[in-house]
Amino acid sequence: MADVIAATDCFWLGPAMQALRTAHRADRVGHALLIHADPGCGGELLATWAAQLLLCRRDAAPCNACVDCRHCAAGQHPDLFVVRPTGDSLQIRVDDVRAFVADLALTSHGGGYRIGIVTPADALNAAAANALLKTLEEPPPRTVIALVSTTPSRLPATIRSRCLRLTVTAPGAAATQAWLAGQGRTGDLAAAVDVLGDAPLKLFDADIPAVTRLRADTTRALDEAARGGADPAALAERWSRDEYELRLACIEAWLNARIRLSAASATGNIARQFELLDAMRELRREIDAPLNKSVALERWLWRLADADSNRAA
């Protein structure tokens, strides 16, 4: 991010931070935390704050000013270890976890806690999850492992059952817009939230004017395509090469708006529109799959044109 956002800047993290403070004061921080955060809501930011809380040696921990706090924030503390997918891989592999576990087993540099962060934890492959489970079952003393996930249901139940869960939910569209404005973000914030969702940190990083321009362009093209006035093949080819992921988000926002309008006016075939929405969400889930994006999007656009031509008939 061009500007630095701290956990203390994110009001929606407050309840989870307070729960951790209370547990820390009572010396009851568990050896494993599962941070279930909505996308774009700062699960990893909360995990880093938890590391500062445990590694800061001042009374008012975390002070955010001492060497320990600053090194945690920079990811450079000698008692903080982070494991995440590396290179082009979308998975956390077993060798990565074994190295991570070996580091956690070493003696603490500061004589206190050793903290491990696994992010995103749902990227653990089966072998890596099994390797981590052994450490969760028999953790080294004064060791805390924080698993960060937006979809903890993908984790094995044996791992989930050994963790204290902290849930971070999105603050709501209106509160997100107000927070963004307070952080100096300008533009059509409501339109950006409509496209990118109630994800404050994702929106904070986004180029809001660019998002709204792309949304307007997508809306015009889809309105034309729905009337049969666009070439699905040409449109799909262009969109597959131009901000494809963001285009799909704009398409989903357009569909949601059509469904709301149809429901309010009792017009249109809502069932067909929901079928289109389901198909679009499937395309978004497969964003990293090795498929021909242009062909997949063209098929969807033909379904759109067919659905609206049947409605007109």
Please give the pLDDT value at position 111.
85
Please give the pLDDT value at position 264.
87
Contact, 112 vs 79, CB < 8 A? yes
Q: How far apart are CA 99 and CA 230, in angstroms?
A: 54
pLDDT digits (tens, 9 = 90+) for 64-82: 999 999 999 999 999 999 9
Q: How far apart are CA 88 and CA 113, in angstroms?
A: 32
Please give the pLDDT value at position 309.
58
**How many residues are recorded in the chain?**
313
Q: What percent of the chain is helix, strand and coil (3-state, nearest 5)?
A: 60, 10, 35
Q: How far apart are CA 138 and CA 149, in angstroms?
A: 22
* Residues in the chain where the model's pLDDT stays below 50: 1-2, 312-313
Q: How far apart are CA 237 and CA 295, in angstroms?
A: 8
Tell me the C-alpha to C-alpha distance, in Å, between residue 40 and each of 64, 72, 112, 160, 207. 22, 21, 31, 22, 15
Please give the pLDDT value at position 239.
96
DSSP structural state of residue 124: B
Please give the pLDDT value at position 307.
74
Whether residue 139 is preceded by a cis peptide bond, meaning omega within 30 degrees of 0, is: no
pLDDT digits (tens, 9 = 90+) for 4-30: 899 999 999 999 999 999 999 998 999
Please give the pLDDT value at position 42.
97
3-state DSSP call for residue 287?
Answer: coil
Judge if 7-168 and 207-312 fold alike in CATH terms: no
The fold adopted by the segment(s) 207-312 is: Zinc Finger, Delta Prime; domain 3 (1.20.272)
Contact, 122 vs 152, CB < 8 A? yes
Q: How far apart are CA 102 and CA 65, in angstroms?
A: 30
Please give the pLDDT value at position 114.
96
Write down the domain spans for the chain: 7-168, 207-312
Contact, 96 vs 26, CB < 8 A? no
What would the CATH number be for the domain defined by 7-168? 3.40.50.300
**What is the Rg, in whole angstroms, of the alpha carbon atoms belonging to the chain?**
23
194-226 per-residue burial string, b: 16 or more CB within 10 A, e: under 16: bbbbbbbbebbebebeebbebbeebbebbeebb
DSSP structural state of residue 290: S
156 phi and psi angles, rounded to 5 deg: -60, 145
Half-sphere exposure of 184 (CA within 13 A, CB side): 6
Query: Which class for 149: exposed (0-12), middle (13-18), buried (19 or more C-beta within 10 A)?
Result: buried
pTM of the model: 0.89
Q: What is the DSSP string of 31-80?
A: SEEEEEE-TTS-HHHHHHHHHHHHH--STTS--SSSHHHHHHHTT--TTE
